[in-house]
Structure 1
Amino acid sequence: MRRLTVFLKLTAVLAVAGAALTVQAAPAGAATTGYGDCPAAYFCAWSDDGAEGGMSKWEFDDTNWTDDGMHDDAESVANNGTPGTFDDVQLFFDVNYGRGSICVAQGETYDWSMADNEYDSHYWTSGC
């Protein structure tokens, strides 16, 4: 009888330890993707449609997206800028604000009209 009691206690301890290991092995939290991942006061671009994939984010103007790993790679964008004087974002096909393209108003997202994701710079502006 004593062996059975020790066996049951040992089994219970191992079960609890196994559960603890399982919890520790699980990821701390699945990475979320989506437009909600763009922080307040930022303009964000993702490498895939639907705000999926790699994300770059900017709080200020950027003359060259190549430095941020988003060179000709944006498939979706979001303007989560703070409402104010410069709250819209003008996108450009080339570095140094060359060949203007779409303007993304504060609070807007673009996905389907990304013109072959050939964007390389942007600046904050007072209106689209």
Structure 2
Amino acid sequence: MRDPSSPDRRHADRGDLCELLATFGAVALLATTVPAIAAGTALGDCPSGYFCAWADDDATGHRAQWEGDDAWWGDDGMHDNAETIYNNGVEHSEDVVAIYYDVNYKGFAFCMDRGEWLDWSMDDNDYDSHLWTSGC
């Protein structure tokens, strides 16, 4: 029979459990924010008023940047090669970027509002042109 005054070593006490859950939560939070911090730092390399694309995740590698429309990203070394994209446009009547799968604005894919960026969720290596527009 167990002595009621001695701790039962088969069960963690409430403090141990809380400490374990707090540690797990902190690790989970760090794991989800590190990519955002890394990309956020590199996004600052995109000049204000521009739409930028990087060849690698986390806004790293070769970067192309456009102040206006571009019918073919290939002439900027980004043909079907964008892993991170960022709309760093300024408030203007045409501050939304429409992204297309093919050259010459064919095969509409999606739109990006000013300040929006895509990285890990990108459908990598599929885009070839973009237009600045007032909305989609």
Taking the aligned partners of 1:111 and 1:50, their CA distance within structure 2 comes to 6
TM-aligned CA deviation for residue 35 of structure 1 = 0.5
How far residue 115 of structure 1 moved from its aligned partner, in angstroms, is 1.2
Please say if 1:110 is aligned against 2:118. Answer: yes
- 2:46 is aligned to 38
> How many residues of Structure 1 are paired with residues of Structure 2 in the alignment?
96
How many angstroms does 1:127 deviate by? 1.3
Which residue of structure 1 lines up, in the alignment, with residue 127 of structure 2?
119
Q: Any runs of at least 4 consecutive aligned residues in structure 1 with deviations exceeding 2 A, and if so which?
A: none
Q: Deviations over 1:66-124 (max 9, x none)?
A: 11110000000110101111001011010001111121110111112221221100000
Match of 1:56 in 2: 64
Aligned partner of 1:83 in structure 2 is 91
Work out the CA distance in 2 between the residues paired with 1:86 and 1:43: 12
Helix, strand or coil for the counterpart of 1:56? strand
Structure 1, unmatched stretches of 5+, are 1-32
Residue ranges of structure 2 left out of the alignment (5+ in a row): 1-40
CA distance in 1: counterparts of 2:121 and 2:97, whole angstroms: 15
Which TM-score applies when normalising by structure 1? 0.72
Q: How many percent of aligned residue pairs carry the same amino acid? A: 56
- Using the size of structure 2 for normalisation, the TM-score is 0.68
3-state DSSP class of the match of 1:101?
strand
Alignment root-mean-square deviation, CA: 1.1
Q: Secondary structure at the match of 1:115?
A: coil
**1:22 corresponds to:** none
Q: Which amino acid aligns with 2:68?
A: F
Aligned counterpart for 1:100 among listed residues 108, 113, 120: 108
**Paired residue type of 2:52:** C
